[in-house]
Amino acid sequence: MELHELEAIAEREQSQRARLRILCCAAAGCQASGSLEIKRRLETVLTAAGKLAEVDIMPVGCMGLCGHGPLVRIEPSGELFERVTPADAEELVAALEGGPCNVPRCDRNHPFFTRQLPIVLRHCGQINPERIEDYIAVGGYRTLYHVIHEMTPAEVINAITRSGLRGRGGAGYPTGLKWATVAKSPGERKFVVCNADEGDPGAFMDRSVLESDPHLVLEGMAIAAYAVGAEQGFIYVRGEYPLAIERLQKAIVQARRLGLLGAQIFESGFNFRIDIRVGAGAFVCGEETALIASIEGRRGQPRPRPPYPAESGLWGMPTLINNVETFANVTAIIENGPEWYASIGTAKSKGTKVFALTGKIRNTGLIEVPMGISLREIVEEIGGGTPDGIPVKAVQTGGPSGGCIPASLFDTPVDYESLAAVGSIMGSGGMVVMDEHTNMVDVARFYIEFCKDESCGKCIPCRVGTVQLFNLLTRLRNGQGSGNDLIEIEALCELMRETSLCGLGQSAPNPVMSTLHYFRHEYERLIGAEVEHGS
C-alpha cells in the first residue's frame, strides 16, 4: 500500500457516495432498541419506491444520545430523529426530500450537541465502522503513513509529550512519559497493549469507540508501536462486549488485507500485528499487572510495582499499556499538532474527555467535552437535569474507585486535580447522576459489594476489608448500627487505602469515604433510627 493508493480509495468512496443518505445507529444501545429492524424496513420502503439506488442506507456508530434511541440521521439536511420505530420508515424516506415527517426530531442546537467537542468521537455516527474504506475516506491511516515515512520514533514521542495527553484509563499518567520509558527500556521484544477491559459499571465509552470507530484505535496503536519499537500488539477487551469484539476482528482483518497492519506496513521496514484477547469477566484485570497476567493465560492477580510494565510487562518484556481512549487521541494530536491539542483544556489536563452520562438524567448518552468544563454544565446543560424534575443530589465519577460529588460542588471543573481535590477521581469516564431519592448509604454499599465480589483475594486488606466494610454498611442500613460503626468504617477505609496491593483495594473505600464526608447525615440518620427503636 502506498499513499496514492490510500488516496485513491478515499476519492472513490467520496465519488460513489449518494447525495441522499440515511444513517442508522448500529451501536449496541440502539441495536437493543431495534435499530436493525428500522434499517431493514427502510430498505423495503426504498425498494418499493424504486429509490434504493439513489439513497445510501448506512449503519453507523454511536450518535451519542443513547437514551433517546434508536437514532436515525438523514443527509444532506442533517436532521436527527429520535425514538424511531420501524413504522416511521415511510415518513423518514419522505423527509429525505423535504416531505412531511412527524417523527420526533432532536434539537441540534441543544447544549447536548453544541457544548461538545468531538475529537475521539469525531467519526462516531459518521462512518460505517465495519468498512475500512469509510475510515480511509475521512482521512484514516494517512497519519500512520506520515509517521512511518516522515517522523522518527523520538519525534512521535516528543509530539505526544508536548500535547500534554494523560492516560484516559483514569489515573492520568502522562502518556508521552510512558511511551518514552518503554522506548528506552531494553528488551529483545516489546509489546503494545490496548486496555479495553472497561469494567467500571456505568461506563461505556470504550465500548462505543470500539463499536463506532475501531480503526481509529488500531491506527493509534500502530503509531504507538512505531514510537516505542514494538511489533506485536494486543487488545484486551471485555467478554461482555460481543459487538465490539466482532467489529475489532473485522477491522484487523481489513487492515491486514490492505497492508496497514502486518509485515512491512506502507512498504516500510515497520511490522506490527494486533491480536485480540477476550477478557473473562474480572474487574481487577483493568489493573495493568493483572491484565498482563490474564493475557498470559493466568488468574488476573496484580503484582507489586515496580517494576512497572513499561520496563517489565508481558513475558518480562517492556510493555506499553494504554486505554482505548488514549490511543484514540493519538492520530488527532499528530495530525493537528501537539500545540493545538495543548490549547484545549486546563493547565494540567489537556484535550477532551469522553463521559458516559447515565443515571437520573434526561439526556443519557455519550459525550465528549473539553477538560475544565464544570460538572454543572455537564449535568444541567448537556444532561438537561433529571427526567422528572427531582433535584440532583450528586454525581458519581470514577465508578468503584471514585467518589460521589454533591450538587453544592457542581462548579468544580472537570480535570484530574480538581476531581481528586473533592474526593473523587476522573476515572475512565463513567458519570452517574443521582437525584434526591437516591440513598447514599445504599450507593456506598452497592460499590463495596461490587469490590467485595471483584477482589482477587491476593492481599488481605482488600480481601477481608471489603467484606468487613460490606457487613458494617449492611448492619447500618438495617438500622442495627451504632455510632462506633462509623468510626470503624473510617479506620478500615484508611487502612485499606494505605495497605492494599493494587488500585482496586486502595481506591475501594473512595465511594464510602466520599459519601461519609458529604452525606454523613444520611449515615447518622440510620443510627438515630436504631436509638429511637431501642429506647
Partner 1 sequence: MTTPATNTDVDRSARVAGDNRRKILEATMKRFQYQGDALIEVLHKAQELYGFLSPELLSEVAQRLRLPPSRVYGVATFYHFFSLAPQGEHTCTICLGTACYVRGASLLLHELEALSGVKAGHTSADGRFSLLTARCLGACGIAPAAVLDGEVIGHADRSDLTARIRALLGHEE
In the complex, which residues of this chain contact partner 1 (CB under 8 A)? 28-29, 31-33, 66-67, 69, 198-204, 207, 238-241, 277-283, 294-300, 356, 358-360, 364-366, 396, 399, 430, 432-434, 438, 446-447, 450, 454, 456
Complex with partner 1: residue 96 or 419, whichever CB lies closer: 419
Q: Which candidate, 423, 430, 382, 429, places its Cα nearest to that of 406?
A: 423
Cell of 498: 494505605
Complex with partner 1: residue 20 or 278, whichever CB lies closer: 278
Minimum CB–partner distance for residue 525 and partner 1 (Å): 20
DSSP H or E segment with residue 394: strand 392-397
Complex with partner 1: residue 265 or 404, whichever CB lies closer: 404
Complex with partner 1: residue 59 or 345, whichever CB lies closer: 59
Minimum CB–partner distance for residue 447 and partner 1 (Å): 8
Torsion of CA 303, 307, 311, 312, to 10 degrees: -40
Minimum CB–partner distance for residue 297 and partner 1 (Å): 4
Complex with partner 1: residue 198 or 288, whichever CB lies closer: 198
- Contact 234/159 with Cβ under 8 angstroms? no
Minimum CB–partner distance for residue 520 and partner 1 (Å): 21
DSSP H or E segment with residue 235: strand 232-237
Minimum CB–partner distance for residue 360 and partner 1 (Å): 6
Say if strands 232-237 and 273-278 run parallel, antiparallel, or are unpaired. Answer: parallel
Cell of 354: 469522553
Minimum CB–partner distance for residue 236 and partner 1 (Å): 10
C-alpha to C-alpha distance for 225 and 232, rounded to whole angstroms: 8
Complex with partner 1: residue 121 or 330, whichever CB lies closer: 121
Complex with partner 1: residue 9 or 65, whichever CB lies closer: 65
C-alpha to C-alpha distance for 83 and 93, rounded to whole angstroms: 16
Minimum CB–partner distance for residue 299 and partner 1 (Å): 4
Cβ-in-10-Å burial (0-12, 13-18, 19+) of 273 comes to middle
Output the CA–CA distances (angstroms, integers) from residue 74 to 83, 93, 331, 339, in the order listed.
14, 9, 28, 35
Minimum CB–partner distance for residue 334 and partner 1 (Å): 29
Minimum CB–partner distance for residue 32 and partner 1 (Å): 4
SS3 128: coil
Complex with partner 1: residue 121 or 165, whichever CB lies closer: 121
Using omega within 30 degrees of 0 as the cis cutoff, is the peptide bond preceding 70 cis?
Answer: yes
Q: CB-based contacts of 364: which residues, under 8 Å, 6+ apart?
A: 65, 66, 67, 68, 357, 358
DSSP string over 191-205: EEEEEE---STT--H
C-alpha to C-alpha distance for 81 and 3, rounded to whole angstroms: 38
Q: Which residues pair with 56 in a beta bridge?
A: 21
Complex with partner 1: residue 55 or 252, whichever CB lies closer: 252
C-alpha to C-alpha distance for 479 and 276, rounded to whole angstroms: 48
